[in-house]
Amino acid sequence: MRRRSTLWFVAPAFALYALVVLYPSLAGATSAFTDWSGVSGERRWVGLANFERLVSDSAGRAALRNVLALSVFVVAAQTVLGLGLALALHAAAGRRRWLRVAFLAPALVSPLVAAFVWRYVCSPAPDEGVNALLGFLGLDALQQDWLGDPSLALWSIGAAAVWQHTGYTVVIFEAGLARIPRDLHDAAKLDGAGARARLRYVVLPQLRPALTITVVLTTIGTLKLFDQVFALTGGGPGHATETPSTLIVREAFAFGRYGYSTAIALVLALIVAAVALVQLRTLREWELTR
């Protein structure tokens, strides 16, 4: 008996996915080269004008600069913090493992809720959030307008992102640690390796897949970060916390510059794809040399 191809099983999912993701993404990529304003439906081919505007416009440049700085900061902080906490939790073997709930708790609330919490933490009022803590410690001089000061706002948002997502990093590293065979530790110990040498030559090399995964996920997540920025500062003060995501939404829905907005989205997509491909290739190379 000959059966029909099982590709029919894929058809409904693929049709919906194509309609919701593939087609609009392609349409977005092509309207990036037009002056489409949305309302009129009329669009003229303008070549690379939108991209020239992105790199010459002060808001566009701020958005690109900010998102790169933010990604470097968040990836570095989250990886170091996540790895350190995972190692500590792993060393604590059982007794303190339940503490991982504390690190995961912020990851369970929605990004929007995290932003509201962080709005309180970063409140300029001297009796609220971090400022209250500083006042309590007698460090009144260090109190700041954490989100209103252009030189601090971006890092306050970065801190909010790190606070919310470090829990995932901890879990990924813990899973990596649990997978290291005991024999490796025992063999290294027999050979006279101390705790530091075992960390350097046994644990860290074995954690490379976990490291790649966390770096890829964190980078992509930070490049696309929207909810927190939107709810914390909306891109301000000035353009101090402007990111491609906030700019895309504002250009399209406040100014009706759909063409320009999709051009920013296309640049963001290319950056994300490039980062993901480079990092995934590194992972593949690592797996081949294992």
- Which amino acid makes up residue 112? L
Q: Which stretch binds another protein (CB under 8 A): 22-30, 48-56, 71-79, 177-185?
A: 22-30
Rounded Cα distance, 28 and 93, in Å: 50
Q: Which stretch binds another protein (CB under 8 A): 45-53, 60-68, 139-147, 272-280?
A: 272-280
CB atoms within 10 A of CB 216: 19
Rounded to whole angstroms, the Cα distance separating 124 from 116 reads: 14
Tell me whether residue 287 is exposed, middle or buried, using C-beta atoms within 10 angstroms of its C-beta: 0 to 12, 13 to 18, 19 or more. Answer: exposed
Q: Does residue number 276 form part of the binding site for another protein (CB under 8 A)?
A: yes
Which residues, 184 to 243, sit near another protein by CB under 8 A? 220, 223-224, 226-227, 230-231
Among 72, 80, 92, 197, binds another protein (CB under 8 A): 92
| Cβ 39 to another protein shortest distance, Å | 10
Phi, psi of 45 (to 5 degrees): -70, 125
Residue type, 86: A
In angstroms, the CA 51 to CA 55 distance is: 7
Total residues contacting another protein by CB under 8 A comes to: 80
Interaction between residue 89 and another protein (CB under 8 A): yes
Q: Which of 59, 134, 249, 283 touches another protein by CB under 8 A? A: 249
273 binds another protein (CB under 8 A): yes
**Single residue of 1, 137, 178, 190 touching another protein by CB under 8 A:** 1
User: CB 105 → another protein: shortest distance, Å?
Assistant: 5
Structure token pair of residue 179: 């997978």
Q: Which stretch binds another protein (CB under 8 A): 26-34, 135-143, 147-155, 179-187?
A: 26-34
Q: Which of 3, 182, 196, 290 binds another protein (CB under 8 A)?
A: 3
SS3 93: coil
- Which residue type does 279 have? Q
Strand, helix or coil at 278? helix
- Asked if 115 and 228 touch (Cβ cutoff 8 Å), the reply is yes
6 is a site residue for another protein (CB under 8 A): yes
Q: Is 235 left (phi over 0), alpha (psi -120 to 50) or beta?
A: left
Q: How far is the CB of 244 from another protein (least distance, A)?
A: 7
Contact track, another protein, 136-165, x by CB under 8 A: ---------------------------x--
Instruction: State in angstroms the smallest separation of the CB of 113 from another protein.
Output: 5
